[in-house]
Amino acid sequence: MSEVNLADICIVNIKNNIVSILGCGWFGLALAKKLISLNYAVKGSTTSQEKLAILQAENIQPYLINFTADAIVAGEAFFEADTLFICIPPKRNSTELHDYPQKIKSILAAAKDKSKNVVLISSTSVYADENKAVNESSETNPDTDSGRIVLAAEQLFKVLYPENCTVIRFAGLIGPDRNPGRFFAGKSNVPNGLAPVNLIHQTDAVGIAVKILEKQAFGRTYNACAPNHPAKMDFYTNAAKSTGLAEPNFIAEKKDWKIVESLNVPEFLGYEFEVGI
């Protein structure tokens, strides 16, 4: 058995120990809790005064941060971190949706020279439903407003952080409080029933983010999507049935679909998914 160099272990542990998470919502809070359990020092932000106590109760250093397209109101210490995760998806409101890239620009300006690494949480909506498999080397051609907006934010990020731009493109997120059985429960004639689903469980979403930190695998784009893609009608019918909800009825057709694959997650992270879809 080879000897373990304790000095090397200390260097690895200290190297990326302070993490700031902008947006401790459904994903951000789960990531923060996991990092705390792994002995990272975590700063977390919220726009709600009431949520500060929740963060503090989880041993997350809480920050009240408000931002618009024009400005950010935040303590500068929040951005002083080894890694900053930007976990604020664009809101559905049309005005706020189109302000999203400018908000990201303001956040990146605030983080400049303070956050060593920046990870932007994005979406696989940057790929259009063009009836084929896509991966990180595929052309991005979004066919929805939200997809176009998050792609614009990604491109802005790459301009401002050209040498260290890390993007995680999540597929549809499921898990605690996001029971997929409820999505179509009791509905009839749901279209596109044979189309493959692209989903990821919260456990694996967090796991991939943690693995990037552990391996210091910054500077790349990662598609974060479970490797299995059952038909929409099979997955959502089983999800409804397993939770005692009314089963939906789908049209057995396959049009306007994609299969999201990843080259970078297995190659650079070696991550093994824990939750099957």
In the structure, what pLDDT confidence band is assigned to residue 237 with cuts at 50, 70 and 90?
very high
Residue 219 lies in a domain: yes
The count of structural domains within the chain is: 1
Q: Is residue 190 part of a domain?
A: no
Provide the percentage of residues in the chain whose pLDDT is more than 70: 92
Res. 116 pLDDT band, cuts 50 70 90: very high
Q: Which residue has the tokens 């057995």?
A: 252
Report H helices in 117-201. 145-160
DSSP state of 114: T
Q: Report if residue 245 sits inside a domain.
A: no
Q: With 70 as the cut, is the pLDDT of residue 2 above it? A: no
In a domain, 24, yes or no: yes
Q: What is the mean pLDDT of the chain?
A: 91
pTM exceeding the 0.85 threshold for the entire prediction: yes
Q: Is 66 helix (H, G, I), strand (E, B) or coil?
A: strand
CA dist 108 and 160 (Å) reads 8
Does position 1 have pLDDT exceeding 90, yes or no? no
pLDDT exceeds cutoff 70 at 15: no
Q: Are 221 and 269 in contact (CB under 8 A)?
A: no
pLDDT of residue 96: 72
pLDDT confidence bin for 244, thresholds 50/70/90: very high
Count other C-beta atoms under 10 Å from residue 243's C-beta. 12
Q: What is the CATH number of the domain that holds 102?
A: 3.40.50.720
Confidence class for position 185, pLDDT limits 50, 70, 90: very high
Residue 262 lies in a domain: yes
Classify residue 183: in a domain, yes or no. Answer: no
Q: Which residues contact 264 (CB under 8 A, 6 or more apart)?
A: 136, 220, 221, 222, 223
User: Which residue, among 15, 3, 75, 23, has the nearest Cα to 41 in the 3D structure?
Assistant: 15
In a domain, 243, yes or no: no
Mean pLDDT along residues 193-202: 98
Give the angle subtended at the CA of 260 by the CAs of 204 and 208, to the nearest 5°: 20
Contacts of 172 (CB under 8 A, 6+ apart): 197, 198, 199, 200
Q: Give the domain extent around 24.
A: 6-176+198-229+257-269
73 CB contacts (<8 Å, ≥6 apart)?
65, 66, 67
What is the average per-residue pLDDT within 154-183?
93
Token code pair at residue 170: 């999540």
Is 90 inside any structural domain?
Answer: yes
- Rounded CA-CA distance 131/153 in Å is 25
Q: Backbone phi, then psi, for 87, in 5-degree steps?
A: -115, 55
pLDDT of residue 168: 98
Residue 66: band (very low, low, confident or very high) from pLDDT cuts 50, 70, 90? confident
